[in-house]
Amino acid sequence: MPGNTFGQLFKITTFGESHGGCVGVVIDGCPPGLVISQAEIQTELDRRKPGQSSITSPRAEQDVIYIMSGISDGVTTGTPILLLAYNKDVKSEDYLNLKDLYRPGHADYTFQMKYGIRDWRGSGRASARETLARVAAGAIAKKYLKEKLNIECISYVEQVENIKTDIDFKEVAMKDVESNIVRCPDEKIAKKMIKLIESVKEEGDSVGGVIRGVIRNLPAGLGEPVFDKLPADLGKAMLSINAVKGFDFGSGFEGVSMRGSLHNDEFFTDKNGKIHTKSNHAGGTLGGISSGEDMHFRVAFKPVSTIMKKQNTVDVKGKKAVLKARGRHDPCVLPRAVPIVDAMSALVIMDHLLRHKAQNE
């Protein structure tokens, strides 16, 4: 079936295109009785929306979210929740010169091969505008996890091109992430990142980087031991985000340079009788099931495909062409991708929490 739905018990289905009438999501399986307001959802969307700083796309969308069903008097009813935001600042004419060209790095060609037709207006369904729906749904999942179990999903920009912070992820707080426009909690490094992105923007080019994700206060026992391992579902969630090219979990690829005697996380019991591990190279799971330690992972984003430099390509008939893009695009997607990583983390954990309850309680 078409891949527009994510999750098993906490299930979301997103809809809409970049230059269509609206973008939205249907959430099925949200437990009743959760107090959630439009303002709480909007706060998360404001972190993702374009035009929020000098290093993001200037598209002037306010992304005002409307609650159409499933929430009554500010409380979830247990029935399907429909959330949507109308597209207001649509300028499809910016894409007219690209209508018959295949843009390097974009999904134009593959969409044409799959469907025999494509929406040339801002990439249509392939646009990162679809992630608005994920962030809206993730806001509800984040609220439930925080309120019921004090679980926190927090991510931040760890690297832009070759500029990287070595800040300890265990010490990062949300206020630190939101303290600057690039969403790097290391103030000194953040300034360097911003300067680089501004320079790349002036050149008409783009740049990529890495987002570090952390999930705190997870209980032990969430996840499945085979195909639906917690990091496997988390990896699928992150790799489904536009522009993501890599995912590593725990020690990730760095673990290949370690011996087992160093990589194994030894157990100990704290003064309260709770079992912990001294280190956390495993990333918060063992055998695909949460261990009770913080989950931590990294997500690699490629440079944004739309750049203002001339590029060689072909048209829909296979003839050589030169592309010179125009329009409104991010020189670096990472600052706006942070709340998307947060949202997808929350959606994965929320789904596995409900699956665990269904099986064990």
CB-CB contact of 340 with 240 (8 Å): no
- Between the alpha carbon of residue 182 and those of residues 25, 166, 335, the distances in Å are 27, 16, 5
Q: How far apart are CA 33 and CA 26, in angstroms?
A: 18
SS3 state of residue 294: coil
Residue 126 assigned to a binding site: yes
Residue 219 assigned to a binding site: no
CB-CB contact of 9 with 351 (8 Å): yes
Q: How far apart are CA 264 and CA 279, in angstroms?
A: 8
Q: How far apart are CA 160 and CA 137, in angstroms?
A: 27
CA-wise closest residue to 134 among 349, 355, 339, 360:
339
Residue 303 assigned to a binding site: yes
Residue 259 assigned to a binding site: no
Residue 243 assigned to a binding site: yes
| Degrees to nearest 5, angle at CA 233 with 230 and 234 | 80
Residue 287 assigned to a binding site: yes
Residue 304 assigned to a binding site: yes
Q: How far apart are CA 12 and CA 28, in angstroms?
A: 6
Instruction: Classify the phi-psi angles of 267: left when phi > 0, otherwise alpha if psi is within -120 to 50, otherwise beta.
Output: beta
CB-CB contact of 51 with 60 (8 Å): yes
Q: How far apart are CA 235 and CA 304, in angstroms?
A: 21
Residue 127 assigned to a binding site: yes
- Residue 270 exposure: Cα atoms within 13 Å on the Cβ side: 6
SS3 state of residue 210: strand
Binding-site residue numbers are 48, 125-127, 242-243, 287, 302-306, 328
- Binding site feature residues for FMN: 125-127, 242-243, 287, 302-306, 328
Task: Enumerate the known binding-site residues for NADP(+).
Answer: 48
